[in-house]
Every structure is written in C-alpha cells, then in structure tokens.
Amino acid sequence: MEVTLRGAVFRVNQARMTFGLQLVYGPEVAGPIPEQHYDTIIEAFNGYRAGVKALVRGTGNYDHQSRLSRLESVEQISILDPLDVPAQLDDFRGMRAGWLDGEGLAPSQAGLDWLADRFDRCYPNDVPLPYLYPTPEGGVQAEWSLGSREVSLNVNLSTHKAEWVWVDVLTDAEAEKTLNLDDVADWNWFAAELRRMAEVIQ
C-alpha cells in the first residue's frame, strides 16, 4: 500500500542498508535505504538530535490489525522544513483534554486531518509557513511575523471557519476577516495577503 510518512530518522544500519523512522505521531518503522536516497537519509539521521524530520513516500506493509509494520520500499525522501504544517499538526495528536493547566480541549483527530489536507492542497509553496499552536477551545492558531506585522489565523476545526487578524506593531493599524477554509477563494485571498506582506520586507 502506498504511504506518505513524516518522521525522524533515528537509526541507520549501513551494513544492511536499512533505516528506522520514528513517526511524528505513531510507531517506529524500518525500511530499506535505496542507493539514490542514501545521502538524504544520512542527512536526516545526522540532524536527529536537532529535530530534523523527513517526508518519506513509498509502499508499506500492514499487520492483521491494520497497523503499519514496515516500509517495503522508499520511492522518495526529502528533508522537511522545520515549519512543515502537517508535521506540526501531528505534534498535537497526542494531546488530551486538560492539557492547559487542567483545562483546554484537545484538537480532534478528524479536525487535524482536515486542516493538514487543506494546507497541503491550498497553501502555495511561495508563501511563508506559519508557527502553529493549539488553542484552549480545541482549535489551532497559525501565526506569522512579517516585518512589523503580526498575523494570526485562528481555526475552528469543527466549523472550518477561521478568524484572520493582522496588526502592525509600529502603526497600530489592524484588520480582520472571517474565512471559510472549505472555500478555495478564501485560501487564495489570505495567501495573496501574506505574499504581499512578505514582499514588502524583502
């Protein structure tokens, strides 16, 4: 079965040409090291202590309980940007209710799946990636610092709506807008806004 995995390369066996991948949220899996991807896997392994993560595409074997047991083949591997959105969202999957000093709702797995898919499908590659934070209400807040402007997108994982806000810390100018993240036009709008702000500081 085809798989797309995000994780850290924590082990390399050069004699057997295999490696171990610790999924961002999930078990450890082992796989073969194709010769053409050797350098990338070693780079990921050397960056393990620094938190370097990789994106792996290939085929996987599953056990009788439908759990991924190992990688059968690796077709592609690349080093992830530290702000890769799906990897950041995976960090939230182990959260439980009460994570914030006994309060705070945990983001739903379905909601995280939806948001990761929307960023993957709708967020342009030429726009700066955000830092992500869980919110006490069980949502996700994305934040960008672009010059003097602080931008946030507070996402409701249940309604798929988001509150877009930016504030200029030098002039106190600000603006806000409610977005529907199931609407590609709204993604295009806020991506264009981010692109414009990023161009100003270049």
Same domain membership, residue 89 and residue 75:
no
Return phi, psi of residue 56, to 5°.
Answer: -120, 130
Residues 190 and 107 in one domain: yes
Say yes or no: 121 and 191 in one domain: yes
pLDDT tens, residue by residue, 115-141: 999 999 999 999 999 999 999 999 999
Domain enclosing residue 51, as ranges: 2-79
Q: Write down the pTM of the prediction.
A: 0.84
Number of folded domains in the chain? 2
14-24: b (≥16 Cβ within 10 Å) or e: eeeebbbbebb
Q: Evaluate whether 3 touches 61 at the Cβ level (below 8 Å).
A: no
136-174 residue pLDDT tens: 999 999 999 998 999 999 999 999 999 999 999 999 999
Which pair of tokens denotes residue 140? 């996700």
Instruction: Please give the C-alpha separations between residue 102 and each of 40, 56, 63, 105, 168, in angstroms, as whole numbers.
Output: 42, 36, 37, 10, 34
